[in-house]
Amino acid sequence: MSSALDNIKVLDLSRVPTGSYCTMIMGDLGAEVLKVETPLSAGERQAGQGIPLKGTGTKREIAFNALDRNKKSIALNLKTDEGKKVIFQLVKQFDVFLECFRPGVAGRLGIDYNSLSKLNPKLVYCSLTGWGQDGPRRNFPGHDLNFIAASGALNLIGEKGRKPVIPLNLVADYAGGSLLCVIGILAALWAREKTGRGQYVDIAMADGALSLLSASPVAADFLLNAQEPKRGETIMSGGYPFYNTYLAGDGKYVALGCAEPWFWENFCRAIGKEDLIPFHLLYQKPLTGKVAVKLRKVTKELEKTFLARTSAQWVEFLGDKDIPISPVNSLKDVFNDPQVIQRKMLIELKTEGLGTVRQTGIPVKMSDTPGAVRRLAPALGENTDEILAGLGYSNKEIEELRKKGAAQ
C-alpha cells in the first residue's frame, strides 16, 4: 500500500528534537528521511540537558526513540571539506532540506539556501529556529520556556495570584515549531507542483507560540478592546468552575470541560444542583468584584462535591450524560486507556534480538494512504557506508573519509 509522501526525500540536519519530530511525522507518512548526524569524534555539544550522546546508547534504547523511526543515519563532519562535499552531492537528489542552526551558521558552513538552491533549484529548504532569521533576538539562545514567555502565553498559564506554571515543552517546541515546520514544508512542496521551484521556509518557535494564541479568545479580545487577560482568570485557564480540574475522593483529578452552557446544564442536573445552572452566563462579564466572589463559591462547592466519588466513578457516572468529563491520567493510565489502544496510539513492534519495542502511534489517520512505522531508529552512522556507496564512493574512499574524521 502506498503512503501519502512516497517519493519525497528529506535531508534532516536538525540537531534538536523539534526538528526530529518534524521529520518523524514526514517519515511516518511515507517520506524517505536521511538524518545527517555528527561523528562522535567531532565532539559536538548536545542541545539541552539529559540527552545522551546517541553513539553511547544501547541498541534497545535507540530503538525506543520514536523521533528517529523511519529514518536512516549518515554521520558527517560538516566542518570538513570532504563532509560538505557529500552534502553537495546528496542535496541534488533530495526534495527537502531541514536545518536547526542559529541564523548565519548554515551560511558559514556553506550549506545555506542560496548555496544549495543553485545545486537544486527544486529544493524546499526549511530553517527551524527559536526566534527566526531576523529581528533583535535572532541570535539569542532559547528553549520552549523562553519562547512561550516572550509570546505572552506563559503569563496566562497558572493560578490566580501565583507565579506562572511551566508546562511541558509542547507549546512552542512542538506545536509552534515542529508542526508548523511540517505545514510549511508541505505547503512549499505543493507550491512547487505549480511553479516548478523550491523555496525557503523560515519557521520560528516564538512566532508559532504567538500564533497559537490566536486560537484562544484572549488575543482577539486584547487586540479588540486592549483588555489585558489575567493569569487564572480566563475561561480556559481555571478561572471558572465549569472549565476546571477537581480532586476526586481517591486523590486523583478529573477534568470538567463544560465550556458550552448546555454541557454545564447537563452536569448540574446530573449532580442534583440545578441552582448552579445560571452561573455559566457570568463568564460573559469581567471576572471582577461580585462576579468573581460568586464563581469562587461555586468552585468551592464543586470541590466538596467531587470528593464524594473516585476519579473513575465520576467518569463512569457522568460519561454517558453528554458531559465533557475525563480523568487526569498519568502516563501509566494513558497507555492502558482503551481509547488510546483502540486508536492505535500505542504500537508494539516485534523485533529480532530486541524483543517488543513500544512507541506512541501515528496520529494522522488516512484511509487510502496510511502512515506506518517501517523501520526503527538507526544507530549513529548506521547507513553511512550504504549512502556513500550509493553516491559512487568506493570502500577505499569511504575508509579515507573515516581516517580524516569526515565520516563515521
Largest CA distance in the chain: 83
Read off the pLDDT band of 233 (50, 70, 90).
Answer: confident
Q: Which of 319, 156, 327 is nearest to 236 (CA)?
A: 156
- Asked if residue 21 and residue 157 are part of one domain, the reply reads yes
Quote the pLDDT of residue 342: 96
- Asked if residue 374 and residue 301 are part of one domain, the reply reads no
Read off the pLDDT band of 46 (50, 70, 90).
Answer: very low
Phi-psi region of 310 (alpha: psi -120 to 50; beta: other; left: phi over 0): beta
End-of-domain residue from the set 301, 334, 367: 334
C-alpha cell at 104: 548565519
The count of residues in the chain is 408
Q: Is residue 68 scored above 60 in pLDDT?
A: yes
Over residues 310-346, the pLDDT tens digits come to: 999 999 999 999 999 999 999 999 999 999 999 999 9
Q: Is residue 285 scored above 70 in pLDDT?
A: no
- The answer to whether position 262 is within a domain reads yes
Quote the pLDDT of residue 57: 66
End-of-domain residue from the set 308, 334, 360: 334
CATH at residue 356: 3.40.50.10540
Angle in degrees, CA 75, 105, 91, rounded to 5: 50
Quote the pLDDT of residue 77: 95
pTM: 0.92
Once rounded to an integer, what is the mean pLDDT over residues 166-195?
97
- Number of other CB atoms surrounding residue 397 within 10 Å: 13
Once rounded to an integer, what is the mean pLDDT over residues 101-119?
97
Q: Is residue 273 scored above 80 in pLDDT?
A: yes
| Dihedral sign computed on CA atoms, order 304, 310, 311, 317 | negative
Read off the pLDDT band of 14 (50, 70, 90).
Answer: very high
Q: Report CA 58 to chain centroid distance, whole Å.
A: 25
Over residues 366-404, the pLDDT tens digits come to: 999 999 999 999 999 999 999 999 999 999 999 999 999
- Asked if residue 250 and residue 204 are part of one domain, the reply reads no
CATH at residue 261: 3.30.1540.10
Instruction: For residue 257, count CB atoms less than 10 angstroms from its CB and return exposed for 0-12, middle for 13-18, buried for 19 or more.
Output: middle
- Asked if residue 207 and residue 356 are part of one domain, the reply reads yes
For residue 285, give its domain range. 243-334
C-alpha cell at 222: 486584547
Over residues 124-176, the pLDDT tens digits come to: 999 999 999 999 999 999 999 999 999 999 999 998 889 999 999 999 999 99
- Asked if residue 148 and residue 28 are part of one domain, the reply reads yes
- The answer to whether position 308 is within a domain reads yes
Q: Is residue 283 scored above 70 in pLDDT?
A: no
- Asked if residue 250 and residue 382 are part of one domain, the reply reads no
Looking at the DSSP bridge assignments, the partners of residue 35 are: 12, 73
Q: Is residue 54 scored above 70 in pLDDT?
A: no
Q: Is residue 55 scored above 80 in pLDDT?
A: no
Once rounded to an integer, what is the mean pLDDT over residues 48-59?
54
Q: Which range among 12-21, 180-189, 226-235, 271-280 shows the weakest confidence by mean pLDDT? A: 226-235
Determine what percent of the chain is predicted with pLDDT higher than 90.
79
Read off the pLDDT band of 290 (50, 70, 90).
Answer: confident
- The answer to whether position 238 is within a domain reads no
CA dihedral 254, 257, 258, 263 (to 10 degrees): -80
Dump strand ranges (E) for 91-177.
96-99, 124-129
Quote the pLDDT of residue 49: 36
Read off the pLDDT band of 229 (50, 70, 90).
Answer: confident
Instruction: Report DSSP letters for 304-363, one per residue.
Output: HHHTTS-HHHHHHHHTTTT--EEE---HHHHTT-HHHHHTT-EEEEEETTTEEEEEE---
- Asked if residue 282 and residue 139 are part of one domain, the reply reads no
How high is the mean pLDDT of the chain? 92
Quote the pLDDT of residue 51: 44
Read off the pLDDT band of 280 (50, 70, 90).
Answer: confident
Quote the pLDDT of residue 247: 98
Quote the pLDDT of residue 312: 96
| Count of structural domains, the chain | 2
Are 116 and 97 contacting, i.e. CB atoms less than 8 angstroms apart? Answer: yes
Q: Which of 217, 262, 222 is nearest to 239 (CA)?
A: 217
CA separation for the pair 408, 405 (Å, rounded): 7
End-of-domain residue from the set 285, 300, 334: 334
- Asked if residue 397 and residue 371 are part of one domain, the reply reads yes
Are 391 and 48 contacting, i.e. CB atoms less than 8 angstroms apart? Answer: no
Once rounded to an integer, what is the mean pLDDT over residues 220-240?
83
CA separation for the pair 92, 117 (Å, rounded): 9
Quote the pLDDT of residue 230: 85
Once rounded to an integer, what is the mean pLDDT over residues 226-255?
90
The residue among 15 and 12 whose pLDDT is bigger is 12
Q: Is residue 44 scored above 90 in pLDDT?
A: no
Strands 96-99 and 9-12: parallel
Q: What are phi and psi of 25, to 5 degrees?
A: -60, -45
Q: Is residue 48 scored above 60 in pLDDT?
A: no
